[in-house]
Chains A and B, each alone.
Chain A
């Protein structure tokens, strides 16, 4: 086994040695430009995402999360309307908690309206109704009574939904009820315009930023993103995407709000893990770059758009 001492590595030329050093330096430079994902950043990410998940569903109207299906809605009413403007067009669910003391006029009115709906007699079948009818959905789960108002006038999405429902009855509203609904509609529109929503979400995002900056201050790491200061911008891209999806894509459907939240938060939870493990198995060597996150966000936009169609 003395021959072992005669084993030599191949000779490397000076050019090769220099080239290798240049490659090492280039790769270090490239690596420093990458988003650094480690367990110590993934762990806070998960915690933050979980907090956001709970937070988002607790601050968002829980009523939006109700899956209104043909079978869960026990009655659908539509109101004859010969005007060009809908009587009411409240693209939101209202609910009345039967265990709570009703204090506001609006809730009292809704309760009365719900009672009217329950006791109303069927006047006619829903066949051959006007295309621009206004609708009321009544849904009861034993504890709460839910009402949704909308018009086919400007939301065709809901029309398809209504056609699926089995029980359809007509309710003739009194003039007083019509007026009350009209007032509610105006009030709703005043409170739910784009500017108000924008301000509300802006504050939400500022709140999240402040919260995450606080985490950064105490832990030294940015959850979601890099621990390097120059990567802060990715974090804000992420929030920008969230803002965009929340404001611009939301509102086209009663289901979308929950969907966009879920997609965003699920991505926030799983994407860092996925990237971490892919990198660990060296499956993403070719795609590790500063464009990685913007591309993922673009994908997120795309998914959001698909869901909004």
Chain B
């Protein structure tokens, strides 16, 4: 059974980190993390313990983030604004990041949402394929596929960055 105080204390860091990897925006990650716990509280009776509490929370977080981007996409379409620039992490966002991996952050932030989600869970958080599939609601084959394709896309972006330099 979900308990706000207990589960927040236990999982807030992981949930925040996961959302941060999906958004690369500190304040947005904070907002979505709060929303995740609110949603979890609202739906506390529907949690049946089929997955771990953290998996469940990550799943909610993923859905919220996905919804957020979907709305942004509509708004961008309406406002005719540039697509990628808005999602590049600002210099301020990367203050905590070591110099030599900043390009990696930038490249990650430009990946498709599905690739970013797969890579963040599989390669950064080091979850198993099964756990990742549970969080993202995908089949294990899709997890493998998106992780591989995401890594390939990441390599291409990184090589592009290096060529530019």
Task: Point out residues on A near B: beta carbons under 8 Å.
Answer: 1, 3-12, 16-17, 20-21, 23-25, 27-28, 31, 281-282
Tell me which residues across on chain A come within 8 A of B101, comparing CB atoms: 3, 6-7
For the complex, what is the distance from the CA of A23 to the CA of B37, rounded to whole Å?
11
B37 engages A24 (CB within 8 Å)? yes
Q: Which B residues from 31 to 76 make CB contacts under 8 A with A? A: 33-34, 37-38, 41-42, 71
Tell me which residues across on chain A come within 8 A of B127, comparing CB atoms: none
- B149: min CB distance to chain A, Å: 13
Of chain A, the residue at the smallest CB distance from B94 is A10
B151 at the interface (CB under 8 A from A): yes
A21 engages B8 (CB within 8 Å)? yes
A28 engages B41 (CB within 8 Å)? yes
List 10 other contacts, CB 8 Å, given A3-B104, A6-B101, A28-B42. Answer: A1-B123, A1-B154, A5-B124, A8-B96, A8-B97, A9-B16, A10-B93, A12-B16, A28-B41, A281-B71
For the complex, what is the distance from the CA of A7 to the CA of B108, rounded to whole Å?
10
B20 at the interface (CB under 8 A from A): yes
B4 at the interface (CB under 8 A from A): yes
Task: Point out residues on B near A: beta carbons under 8 Å.
Answer: 4-5, 8, 12-13, 16-17, 20-21, 26, 29-30, 33-34, 37-38, 41-42, 71, 93, 96-98, 100-101, 104-105, 108, 119, 123-124, 126, 151, 154-155
- B140: min CB distance to chain A, Å: 20
For the complex, what is the distance from the CA of A7 to the CA of B71, rounded to whole Å?
27
Q: 7 A-B Cβ contacts within 8 A?
A: A6-B98, A8-B97, A10-B96, A21-B8, A24-B8, A24-B41, A31-B38
**Which are the 9 A-B pairs with shortest beta-carbon distances?**
A9-B17, A9-B20, A4-B123, A10-B96, A24-B37, A24-B34, A6-B101, A7-B124, A3-B104
For the complex, what is the distance from the CA of A20 to the CA of B30, rounded to whole Å?
8
Of chain A, the residue at the smallest CB distance from B42 is A31
B20 engages A20 (CB within 8 Å)? no
- B71: min CB distance to chain A, Å: 7
Tell me which residues across on chain A come within 8 A of B96, comparing CB atoms: 8, 10-11
Of chain A, the residue at the smallest CB distance from B155 is A1
Tell me which residues across on chain B come within 8 A of A31, comparing CB atoms: 38, 42
